Amino acid sequence: MQSAQLPELARKAAKEFQAVTPQEVQAAREDARAALRRLENSLARNPAKVREGWYKHLQLTELRAKLDSQETKSAELAEAISPFSSDQVGLEWKHFLHVRDAVQAYSDLLAVAEDAKAAETHAAALDDLAKQLEAYSKAPTPDAARAIGRGLGHLRRTRQAAPLVAAVDAHYTLPNLQLEASHRFLSAGIDQSVDQQTTIVDNVMGTTIQSSVHLQGDVKLQLVPSTSDAMLRLLLSGSAQSSSVGRKGPVTIYSTGVTNVAATKDLRVTELGFLADPASAHCSTSTSINGISAKCNMIRKMAWKKVASSKGQAESIASRRAESRVAAQLNSESAELVAKANDSFQQKFRARLARRGQLPRQMQFGSTADQLSLVMVQSGDSHLAAPAVAPAIATARDLNVRLHESFVGNMSEAVVGGMTLTDEKLAELLEEMAGEVPEELQIGENKDPWSITFATEHPIQVTFTDKNLTIVVNGRRFTRGEGNSRREIRDPARIVATYTVAKTPTGGKLTRQGDLEVEYTNIKGSQSATQIAFKTFLRRKFESLFKPEIASEGIKLKGRWEKAGKLVVQDIQLAPGWVVLGWNLETPDSKVASND
């Protein structure tokens, strides 16, 4: 089906309203009650303080009463489950998610059943959706995308026009983020030298051996071709020099040895996080007997013969035990890497999106021998993603990113939609991300505390054209001051900055076009003195973020990648709806030219 056929499909669906039966509503109600019952049973196994905390935060007793009553309205149910989508750590637990989704489904069906004019409402919504689809096929603007997204959300909630929803998704919900990271970039944070000194006590063929072992080698990253997940292989190669003293009865044996070490550890990067396979190792030990001491020559001569005859077997045993130790060590050391990566991935990304009901629709990792790739569709039930495939990459860099404007709007809704950002939290974020806080945004005794509560839908938007980048911050509530001097504005406002984007010899530069705009979105005509004062205050604060000129000479890397230097932008390409960026590593010892 062509995109031009979608409006006609919408108009046809307008005439095919499916009424909701009482049986469907009752079945959805029972599903919600069962989900809540499972949650209550699980919470009952928790300590009383924990259980009571969740009951209070989620108002579970009140929710149970609403589900038990046949008189509860859909609006009451929607309000009752709003705490389930807050950014409270723990709400990603499956029982919470099941309750949220089941009650939402019941509320949606009940809303249709309550509407005496549901068929007319449906027809009007589909007629508007058809018009938006026509406009979007000619000019895929962000406003039209948001309108279509709202229309699709309505259809999903009311379980209507499934073929239309699927067809629109197929055309306009394509990947809106694609990322490729080179082997060179990844290995810069993973490759490392190994230089370890350890003491090992072992027993080989009845002889107690104490060895001082010096292992030297390298851990290297290898990317393994894979289309299902990304596959990373850690390769340890090196040799261990040992000096040993073995004792058996009256005999003491002095020896040195060399063990050649080769080990592998496979890691997989998936949409659920990092998974690790057990390490395997191959070791080959060669020993030299430097001396044997005993109480008498006869015992010493017998010991020499015994050692000579069993040397091969002893070396084989030593090799196998070395393999076990090396594999265990590689498992242990990589476990820390995997645990940190998983903790960051889960807590900062996946768990937070799960709590908000905004997990990516698609998140596909892959790998070739040269790079790791990520293809992602970030869109909720009421969103579109990209309407076309991403632009091609002209030159492969250490890090390539192709970003559609829908990704920013959809992800911002998942992360900060409806949330309040205080001046203190903003300063913490800027310090963490940029290493410094602009003077105007620093916390001080002579500065009023302030906050912004983001809009629930698309709190942050970006628009890309061939030449410009426009950034919009949508707030629905603002505060300034504290105590008796605290003032509050509940008029929605938008902060807008438009930049031209340019590549410079040392990085990239944004140049703002005109002044920063701060406008109330629901006020026409004259404004009060308080409203004008708030606009001036907000403009001063946000001008510290959206400066007339923003230049970057590279991204300083952190953690394991700090030693690699920084990423310097090589390519900046704007296209309608898209930005394509490419960075190369610029190490302290070897700078990468800004142009290939």
What is the predicted pLDDT for the residue at 594?
A: 39
Reply yes or no on whether the pLDDT at 591 is more than 60: no
Poorest-pLDDT segment among 252-256, 533-537, 592-596? 592-596
**Distance from chain centroid for Cα 446:** 38
Contact 334, 273 (CB under 8 A): no
Name all domains of the chain by residue range, CATH numbers in brackets. 3-171 (no CATH), 192-341 (3.15.10), 386-586 (3.15.10)
Q: What does the mean pLDDT of the chain come to?
A: 92
Q: H helices of 181-296, where?
A: 183-190
How far is Cα 332 from Cα 196, in angstroms, rounded to an integer? 15
Pair of tokens at residue 112: 């249709």
How far is Cα 84 from Cα 357, in angstroms, rounded to an integer? 9
State the average pLDDT over residues 379-397.
Answer: 94
What is the predicted pLDDT for the residue at 277?
A: 93
How far is Cα 6 from Cα 155, in angstroms, rounded to an integer? 15
* 3-class secondary structure, 243: strand
530 confidence band (pLDDT: 50, 70, 90): confident
Report percent pLDDT > 90 for the chain: 74
Q: pLDDT tens digit string along 330-364?
A: 998 888 888 888 888 888 889 889 988 899 999 99
Contact 389, 432 (CB under 8 A): no
What is the predicted pLDDT for the residue at 553?
A: 81
592 confidence band (pLDDT: 50, 70, 90): very low
Q: pLDDT tens digit string along 504-515?
A: 888 889 999 999
Reply yes or no on whether the pLDDT at 387 is more than 90: yes
Q: pLDDT tens digit string along 186-214?
A: 999 899 999 999 999 988 888 899 999 99
Q: pLDDT tens digit string along 565-582?
A: 889 999 999 999 999 999
596 confidence band (pLDDT: 50, 70, 90): very low
Pair of tokens at residue 7: 């409006």
* 3-class secondary structure, 157: helix
What is the predicted pLDDT for the residue at 587?
A: 64
Q: pLDDT tens digit string along 110-144?
A: 999 999 999 999 999 999 999 999 999 988 888 89
